[in-house]
Amino acid sequence: MSQRLGYIGMGIMGNPMARNLLKAGFSVSVYNRTREKTKDIEAEGASVCSSPQELAKRVDVIFTNVTDTPDVRAVLLGKDGVIEGCREGQVVIDNSTVSPRETREIAGILAERGVAFLDAPVSGGDIGAQKGTLTIMVGGDKAVYESCMPYFRAMGSTITWCGESGMGQMTKLCNQILCAVNMVATCECISLAKQAGLDVQTMLEVVSKGAGGSWALANLGPKIAQGDLRPGFMVQLIQKDLRLVMEAARTASLPLPGTALAQQLFTAVEAEGGGQLGTQAMIRTFERLGKFNIP
Amino acid sequence: MSQRLGYIGMGIMGNPMARNLLKAGFSVSVYNRTREKTKDIEAEGASVCSSPQELAKRVDVIFTNVTDTPDVRAVLLGKDGVIEGCREGQVVIDNSTVSPRETREIAGILAERGVAFLDAPVSGGDIGAQKGTLTIMVGGDKAVYESCMPYFRAMGSTITWCGESGMGQMTKLCNQILCAVNMVATCECISLAKQAGLDVQTMLEVVSKGAGGSWALANLGPKIAQGDLRPGFMVQLIQKDLRLVMEAARTASLPLPGTALAQQLFTAVEAEGGGQLGTQAMIRTFERLGKFNIP
């Protein structure tokens, strides 16, 4: 592979993902709005660009990993953006979690310049990003997807083509529904146990093994029981994702009352200043509702 | 062990549980309101009694496994019930899922006769009952619990003392919250996937492995995708359990909005005649809300 790669967005996910591309032997250029966050990867051999436009001129395949849909639009389509430096035959791969509908719009605009676009959001957290064990959910042209497998393999262990443009994002949104609503289940279960005078740890051990089990219960239940609300995955980030879920559901004329409830319970956490806590901080809402404290 | 055992309630759970006691070498007497359902176990060596009272006279340890709280009251405290045949030093073990509060009342009434009472609801379904791999959640006197371990070991593989009288039931109710609300998560996830045009099977494979994973998703998600709504665990039975959950939560002054939502979504399934389908039939409510059909 003589392809030159570029990575835009050196956040908690993008930075380790770009480093894994570098470790796999690819030539990597990077861009980040805050120059400071490119220091470590520059020391490991990446070239630092001064704009997405400059990066697009230098490389063949461009990755983006930024916070929200407007950020993807800005780095790809805005002033000094990728669109001002791109050329026919390039591929853009977006690892952010953003709107499936706007993903298709962006893909359409880039297609007019002869640039292919894959949506490829990930799950697995910062640990998965560091270890290269992410789940990567890809939407877009299947042949382009297949040509990009060497890059995906450097960053993830479960890589799936989910369908046409936007379907990677849609699969990620399905995943976020589960994360949010399974957290409601976990918090209500622990709240009843606490209020009824059960030993919460014992209860968790018993119910984790059976038909009530979930990743949320097994991994975040014990943190709740110990009063550890550090992120993990921040409340304000799942809230951004749930807004995308509800927008997609509205477009599909589908009510999602459980997801809407989770959104409201997280909003109550944010209202009390807990937006930067982990999603397990939903327990705070139940503590207020039930007038109890865990631990 | 020269203890003589009696088992009341030869339903889908009680019958295989009593047979496992028999297989473990215990002497077992049984009672069931419908005589017919005792035929198979009688052929395997159990004695059949004509009333709970007669059974209580014949045995040392009495198990009950009936549908709801009033049924437990009837076989234990009603006419021709256990209370009319019991004697000091006996133990009653209730494997039903019933009210924790009424469990404590019943335990108090039996204690006046010198009869110990353990609540010992189970999870693991009819398959777990047959294989002897149930999870058994026990509340009541710990020394009595320990003396009954040989019986529990014949019926289950994960046996836990959860606290004083009623705490086995309370732990079971915590488990049922998880089963119900994780089903909301599973159904909303599949509904969005279906409405958005994702391949549901592919989506399930991707999200099952990660932070959205749950027993419900892994075991009932594929059934939903295939249109298989056979029970498993019936809607009308989880509805009974959710009534117990909401009663316990009300007593504890705790709102459980997610569980209440699950209850309403199951009520919509019952309203359309689906009470005897498996809990995964909750998808039917979403199919009507979203005007789609799976598969």
Structural element, H or E, at residue A48: strand A47-48
Cβ of A243 under 8 Å from any chain B Cβ?
no
CA max distance for chain A? 65
Q: Does A232 touch chain B (CB under 8 A)?
A: no
Q: Do A258 and B258 touch (CB under 8 A)?
A: yes
Q: Which residues of B touch A293 (CB under 8 A)?
A: none
- Pair of tokens at residue B10: 């030869």
Active site residues of A: 172
Catalytic residues of B: 172
The answer to whether A50 contacts chain B (CB < 8 Å) is no
Tokens read off for B161? 């003392």
Give the tens place of pLDDT for each residue, B38-92: 999 999 999 999 999 999 999 999 999 999 999 999 999 999 999 999 999 999 9
Provide the pLDDT for residue B295: 87
What is the total residue count of chain A? Answer: 295
User: pLDDT band at residue B1, thresholds of 50, 70 and 90?
Assistant: very low
Q: Which of B131, B162, B172, B182 to mutate to test the interface with A (most CBs of A within 10 A)?
A: B182
Q: pLDDT tens, B167-203?
A: 999 999 999 999 999 999 999 999 999 999 999 999 9
pLDDT of residue A295: 87
pLDDT in tens, A186-209: 999 999 999 999 999 999 999 998
| pLDDT level of residue B2 (50, 70, 90 thresholds) | low
d(CA B261, CA B269): 13
CB-CB neighbors (< 8 A) of B232 in chain A: none
- Chains A, B: CB contacts under 8 A, how many? 255
CA-nearest residue of chain B to A172? B207
Chain B interface test: which of A254, A289, A293 (most B C-beta within 10 Å): A254
CB B56 within 8 A of CB B86: yes
Question: Under DSSP, is residue B197 helix (H, G, I), strand (E, B) or coil?
Answer: coil
B242-260 mean pLDDT: 97
Cβ partners under 8 Å of residue A149, min gap 6: A159
| B150 C-beta neighbours (distance < 10 Å), count | 13
**Phi and psi angles of residue A114, each rounded to the nearest 5 degrees, phi first:** 80, 15
d(CA A274, CA A236): 8
Name the nearest CA neighbour of A86 among A55, A108, A119: A55
Burial (0-12, 13-18, 19+ Cβ within 10 Å), A291: exposed
Domains and CATH numbers, chain B: 4-165 (3.40.50.720), 171-290 (1.10.1040.10)
Residue B152 has pLDDT above 90, yes or no: yes
What residues of chain B lie within 8 A of the CB of A97, using their CB? Answer: none
Please answer yes or no on whether A191 and B256 come within 8 Å at the CB atom: yes
Return the residue in A97, A194, A203 with the most chain B beta carbons within 10 A, the one to mutate for interface testing.
A203
Q: Test B192 with A248 for CB contact under 8 angstroms.
A: yes
Q: Is the dihedral of CA B235, B241, B246, B249 positive or negative?
A: negative
pLDDT recorded at residue B108: 98
ipTM: 0.96
Cβ of B252 within 8 Å of Cβ of A163? The answer is no
> Over pLDDT 70: what percentage of chain B?
99
Residue B289 burial class via C-beta count within 10 angstroms: exposed 0-12, middle 13-18, buried 19 and up: middle
What average pLDDT does this structure show over B136-145?
98
Which residues between 58 and 97 in chain B have a beta carbon less than 8 angstroms from any beta carbon of chain A? none
What span, in angstroms and rounded, lies between the C-alpha atoms of B108 and B92? 12
Beta-bridge partner residues of B160 = B137
DSSP state of A4: E
Contact by Cβ (8 Å): A117, A151: no
Q: Report whether B106 contacts B169 (CB < 8 A).
A: no
Mean pLDDT by 10 residues, chain A (295 residues): 88 97 97 96 97 98 97 98 98 98 98 98 94 97 98 98 98 98 98 97 95 96 97 96 98 97 98 98 97 91
Q: What is the pLDDT of residue A1?
A: 46
Residue B248 touches partner A, C-beta closer than 8 Å: yes
